[in-house]
Amino acid sequence: MTEKPDNTSTKPLIVCKDLGKTFYTGDIETHALRSASCTIDRGEFVSIMGPSGSGKSTFMHLLSFLEEPTKGSYHFDGRDISTFDGSTLAKLRNQEIGFIFQAFNLLSRLSVWDNVELPLLYDFYTKGLNRSKEHKQRIKDALESVGLSHRADYKAQYLSGGEKQRVAIARALVNNPKIIFADEPTGNLDSKAGLGVMQILQELSEKGHTIIMVTHEHSTAMHATRIIGLKDGILETDEPVENRLFAKDEQELK
Partner 1 sequence: MNFLYYIRIFLIAAKSLLDDFGRTLLSLLGIIVSVLAIMIVITLGDNVDLYIQNQLSAFGTDSIQIETKVPSEDLSINIGDASSRAQITTLTADDARALEKLPNVSVSTVGVIGQARMVSDGESKQAILLGSDANAPRVDGGLEIDRGRFFTESESIGKSHVLVIGSNLSRDLFGALNPVGKRVRVKGVTYRIIGTIKERGSLFGFNYDDLAYIPYTALTSEILGTDHVQYITIKATDDDTVDAAVGDATSLLRIRHNSNGPGQDDFMVTSTEQAQNILGNIVGVVSLLLTALASVSIIVGGVGIMNMMLMSVEERRSEIGLRKAVGSREEDILSQFLIESIVIALFAAIIGIALAAVLLWVAGTYSVNEGYVDSFRIPLKAVLLSAGFSCAAGILFGVYPAKIAAKTNPVEAMR
Stretch that binds partner 1, among 47-55, 86-94, 233-241, 242-250 (CB under 8 A): 86-94
Among 12, 22, 67, 155, binds partner 1 (CB under 8 A): 67
Q: Is position 113 an interface residue for partner 1 (rule: CB under 8 A)?
A: no
Q: Is position 79 an interface residue for partner 1 (rule: CB under 8 A)?
A: no
| Cα torsion angle, 60, 63, 69, 74, sign | positive
Residue (61 or 226) nearer to partner 1, CB: 61
As to burial, measured by CB atoms within 10 angstroms (0-12 exposed, 13-18 middle, 19+ buried), residue 129 is: exposed
Q: Is position 155 an interface residue for partner 1 (rule: CB under 8 A)?
A: no
Question: How many residues make contact with partner 1 (CB under 8 A)?
Answer: 22
> Contact 170/116 with Cβ under 8 angstroms?
yes
What residues form DSSP beta bridges with 31?
A: 22
> Contact 230/58 with Cβ under 8 angstroms?
no
Among 119, 185, 196, 233, binds partner 1 (CB under 8 A): 119
Instruction: Report, in Å, the least distance between residue 92 CB and partner 1.
Output: 8
Among 99, 165, 174, 181, smallest CA distance to 143 is for 174
Q: Is position 234 an interface residue for partner 1 (rule: CB under 8 A)?
A: no
Q: Is position 118 an interface residue for partner 1 (rule: CB under 8 A)?
A: yes
Angle at 188 between CA 109 and CA 164, to 5 degrees: 35
> Contact 111/155 with Cβ under 8 angstroms?
yes
Total residues belonging to the chain: 254
What residues form DSSP beta bridges with 100?
A: 182
Residue (32 or 247) nearer to partner 1, CB: 32
Site string for partner 1, 23-62 (x = CB under 8 A): --------------------------------------x-
Among 93, 164, 166, 209, binds partner 1 (CB under 8 A): 93
Q: Is position 185 an interface residue for partner 1 (rule: CB under 8 A)?
A: no
> Contact 49/215 with Cβ under 8 angstroms?
yes
Instruction: Name the residues that contact partner 1, by CB under 8 A.
Output: 61, 66-67, 86-87, 90-91, 93-95, 99, 101, 103, 105, 107, 118-119, 121-123, 171, 175
